[in-house]
Structures are given as structure tokens and as C-alpha cells.
Amino acid sequence: MDVAGDGPGTWSTDSVTLDQLVALTRRRLAARQRRVVPPGPLVRAAVLVPLIDRGEPHLVFAKRTETVGTHRGQIAFPGGTVDPEDASLLEAALRECEEEIGLPRETVEPLGELDDTETFATNFVITPWVGVVRGPVTWRPDGAEIERVIEVPFAALSGPGGLRVEEWERDGVLRPVYFFDYNGDTIWGATARIVKHYLDLVADGP
């Protein structure tokens, strides 16, 4: 079943600025108890949910190549598996962003963590860090894991028609699966769940 969505919130997306969105994000992340998946068999990964100013707020995604080991061809947030050398989940996300898309870690102002999100097919647990990119940056996808960088306006995700929901059956249970379509690209799976978590967090604006 395919259900059209009007977006998780009721933002007046025509007027929101990056600074307004950053302030709201920081405030609401600090005020909530996030969902944490305890250590266990799932592989730990961390991603960055980058916000960037293009005259209006945009979210930054990375399209994975068709040759990468997992999630081939899918659109994801930049990030990856946590290494033993990483001092923290944030450090892992920033390191991977530098390696995958050429985002210098010193340009990122961290705002806080969203809920942990599992990938049911590939057995990862992902910790998403929201961060704002301060200063100019030139995207440099590595070509091995990442094919290209995609910038999507916040308004396109949060506005009417931004969210599409389908009901999929898994283990005999119908579950909602989220989709965001933009300029011929489709964001779905764990990444779409992270996007929805974020939009729910900042729903209704300041």
C-alpha cells in the first residue's frame, strides 16, 4: 500500500534560515532522551547528518557506488563503521566524511545525536550526529565508496508531499517504509528513517 505523506511537521519552509534550524536542532536534541541500542552483535556505525547553507538550509547525502561492499547504489548520509582507533562515534563520523566526500572535520559544528537506527538486512546499528557545515567546502567523492554528493533542500523533505510511506511485510508483520524523492533520486531504508527522526524532532518549527 502506498500512502502519500504531507511531511512530518508544519514548518513554514519558505522562510526558515539555517541559523534558525541550527538553534532549534541544538535545543531540541539537548532536551530529549535519545534511543540508544546497547552494545551487542550489531556492527557499530556512525554517520553525519550535515546541514549546509545554500541560501536556505540543505541536507547533504552521498550516493554509494555499485561496487561498494554494502548498500550498493543507495543514498545515505556520509559515515561508516566505527574503528577501534576512533575516540568516539562523532570522531568516526567525521573521519569517514573526510575520507568519503572530502568534508574537513574542522568545518563541522556538531549539534547532537539522533536516535540509534538499526539496518535489519545488514546488521548495523547507526548513530547519526547532526552537524552544520561552517565555511566553503568542495565535495570530493572518493569514487570507491561514494559516487556523488547530493544536496537536498530542507523544504523539499519537510514540505507537503516530501514523505512517501509504503507498508511492507516482514516476518508476517506490516511495517511502514519511508521514501523521500528528489530530482530523480530516492532516499529510503535506514537513511529515510533517520531523515524522518530528524524532521519529527524539529516539527512545527520554533
pLDDT score at 3: 34
**What are the cell numbers at 55?**
541560501
Kindly list the distances between the CA atom of residue 121 and the CA atoms of 69, 118, 170, 186, 196, in Å, as whole numbers in the listed order.
13, 9, 11, 19, 19
Structural domain boundaries of the chain?
7-159+182-201
pLDDT along the chain (206 residues), means of 10: 40 75 96 88 93 96 76 83 92 96 96 90 89 94 90 94 86 87 92 95 80
- Residue 129: CA count within 13 A, CB half-sphere: 25
**pTM metric for this prediction:** 0.88
Note whether 57 and 151 are within 8 A (CB). no
What is the CA angle 107-60-197, rounded to 5? Answer: 110
User: Which superfamily does CATH assign the domain made up of 7-159+182-201 to?
Assistant: Nucleoside Triphosphate Pyrophosphohydrolase (3.90.79.10)
